[in-house]
Amino acid sequence: MTAPLFTVLGASGYIGSRLVTNLCSLNNTVWAPARDDPSILNRPLGHLLYCVGLTGNFRSRPFDAIDAHITLLAQLLKYANFSSLLYLSSTRVYLGSERTDEDAPLTINLSDSSNLYNLTKLTGESLCHNSGRKNVRVARLSNVVGPGMDPASGNFIATLLSEARSGHVLLQSDPKSMKDYIHIDDVVNWLPRIALEGRANSYNVASGIQTTHEQWLQWITTATGCTQAIKSGAPLHQFQKINVDRLRREFRVEAKSISDWLNTPPNVTIK
């Protein structure tokens, strides 16, 4: 049987680059075009994994966020030759909503500038669902963690690790803050399966487990021996538990336990 062709857009990013490595290790045919490569609209793409996006810097680059999350996607949905397309969105879209299943009604506060990210991602999702193209799906990713995270990206855990290497961590949020975290190994294993086998049009790609900032802080200080402090008046950031019933039921998967990572022996070398 011929290995499927995967095209990964955003292959220079944290998730995209690791997707390429994992797909190649499984002997798939993988194309990772450079940014602005015009040939993506006139050659077969196979199974297209859309990993293009802005995260922590979207507030200072609003037009780039629109281009990344909407404009390029619209061109691909209109003109590209693909067998399937999987658009990477975010579980951030559940902020302010009472439920976190894929069919939950969503609430957006337009006066909050931070919601530009959510609005552009949801517009991209809507384009996917209403394009008329077959085999177009959405994966809403939770907070992805793993080796090699870049603190310049604004990733919370990457920032803590970077500070820990310098010897001192200052936690800028209430230790009781909590989020859902998913390991990069699970992400790169599950996304191709969703692209090839998914029966629904959207999936939460998350662990379904809440981890507190206090747990992360304890693990990092134990693992590195750094000192720690908590900023006075640090704000509390709490997000609802992400519903992963659809993913578990359809693909029979369980997330790699972040708690195992948190229980890593103190002499661990963090890379």
Tokens 């103190």 identify what position?
Answer: 266
**13: in domain:** yes
Quote the strand ranges of 41-185, DSSP E.
47-50, 84-90, 136-141, 143-145, 168-171, 178-183
Alpha-carbon gap, residue 175 to 234, rounded angstroms: 9
Cα–Cα nearest to 253, from 195, 212, 208:
208
* 155 SS3 class: coil
Using CA atoms of 110, 71, 93, 232 in order, give the dihedral in degrees to the nearest 10: -70
| pLDDT, tens digit, 9 for 90 and up, residues 17-41 | 999 999 999 999 999 999 889 999 9
**45: in domain:** yes
Cα–Cα nearest to 246, from 56, 71, 37, 102:
102
pLDDT in the model for residue 267? 43
Assessment of whether the complete model's pTM goes beyond 0.85: yes
| pLDDT, tens digit, 9 for 90 and up, residues 165-198 | 899 999 999 999 999 999 999 999 999 999 999 9
Residue 94 CB coordination number (10 Å): 24
Alpha-carbon gap, residue 170 to 132, rounded angstroms: 49
**200: in domain:** yes
**104: in domain:** yes
pLDDT in the model for residue 144? 93
**DSSP at 104:** -
Confidence of residue 270 (pLDDT cuts 50, 70, 90): very low
Radius of gyration of the chain (CA): 19
pLDDT in the model for residue 137? 98
- Give kind and range of the element (H or E) at residue 23: helix 14-25
- Give kind and range of the element (H or E) at residue 203: strand 202-205
- Cβ-contact 54, 13 below 8 angstroms: no
CATH of residue 170's domain is 3.40.50.720
Tokens 């691909």 identify what position?
Answer: 76
Contacts 24+ apart (CB under 8 A), 196-199: 196/4, 196/47, 196/84, 197/251, 198/86, 198/137, 198/250, 199/250
**268: in domain:** no
- Given a cut of 80, whether residue 121 has pLDDT beyond it is yes
Q: What share of the chain is helix, strand, coil (3-state, %, to 5)?
A: 40, 20, 40
The token pair at 3 is 């290995």
CA geometry: angle at 208 spanning 202 and 211, to 5°? 135
Alpha-carbon gap, residue 230 to 218, rounded angstroms: 12
**267: in domain:** no
Structural domain tally of the chain?
Answer: 1
Which residue range is the domain that position 200 belongs to? 5-262
**90: in domain:** yes
- Given a cut of 50, whether residue 120 has pLDDT beyond it is yes
**221: in domain:** yes
